[in-house]
Amino acid sequence: MTEASRRPLNSRNMKWAGALAARLAASRITPNQISQASIAFAALGCLMFWAASATGGILQALALILAAACVQLRLLCNLLDGMVAIEGGKSSATGPYWNEAPDRAADALILAGAGLAAGQLALGLAAAVLAVATAYIRELGRAEGLPPDFSGPMAKPHRMEALTLGSLIAAVYATEWSLSVTLWIIAIGTAATILRRSVRLLSALQAR
């Protein structure tokens, strides 16, 4: 990972993020291990969504709250792996792989899990496929020598923020309905993101 290839994030400038990244950089933990941990949190989130689909009442609400926490922990890993690699000076030759591959797995696990909890697995899988497609368009542009396009309206941080909020709402009100609406918003917004990135990529290629 290089500075130019990083997603612009305001949270990277927060004092707590810098302090936590510095502590991790001073430890034996590597950026790749942090990236790998994001898959573990995504898998746990998927499990919590599944548990929500199989339970009710307080247990269902608790599972959804834990799922939302796992979504945020996945994002935290995505923030810290780059900070430890760049600011902490611990980048490695295999860093580019671990920076990207776990994200695709994490998207699939979390969105498919949300589909289970919503009683609409196909919708969750469709949202996951669209999420992978946004990354494909971005990386296609970068392979052509263009700057990576992290534009929205439903880039990864936006998808995970929407799902976190939707999960918390679902914990207290109409679980399946709330998550279904959330997944539709994510799917439609992600499709719009693919279209926007595609138009921007085609324009950039034609302008060369």
C-alpha dist (Å) from residue 65 to 41, 167, 176, 179: 14, 7, 14, 13
C-alpha dist (Å) from residue 69 to 106, 136, 151, 196: 14, 27, 25, 30
Q: What is the pLDDT of residue 89?
A: 86
Report the distance separating Cα 76 and Cα 80, nearest Å.
6
Percent of the chain topping pLDDT 70 = 98
Going by pLDDT thresholds of 50, 70 and 90, the confidence category of residue 207 is very high
Q: For the residues 81-102, what does the mean pLDDT come to? A: 90
145 secondary structure, DSSP code:
T
Domain 11-206 CATH (choose: 3.30.420.40, 3.40.50.150, 1.20.120.1760, 3.30.9.80):
1.20.120.1760
Instruction: Record the tokens describing residue 82, joined without a space.
Output: 């780059």
**Longest Cα–Cα distance in the chain:** 58
- What mean pLDDT is reported for the chain? 94
Instruction: Record the tokens describing residue 98, joined without a space.
Output: 């671990």
CA nearest to 163, candidates 71, 48, 26: 71
Query: What's this model's pTM, rounded to 2 decimal places?
Result: 0.93
Q: What is the pLDDT of residue 1?
A: 53
Half-sphere exposure of 174 (CA within 13 A, CB side): 6
Report the distance separating Cα 29 and Cα 83, nearest Å.
13
**Token pair 């196909």: residue:** 122
Report the distance separating Cα 208 and Cα 197, nearest Å.
17
Residue ranges of domains in the chain: 11-206
Report the distance separating Cα 149 and Cα 129, nearest Å.
18
Q: What is the pLDDT of residue 175?
A: 84
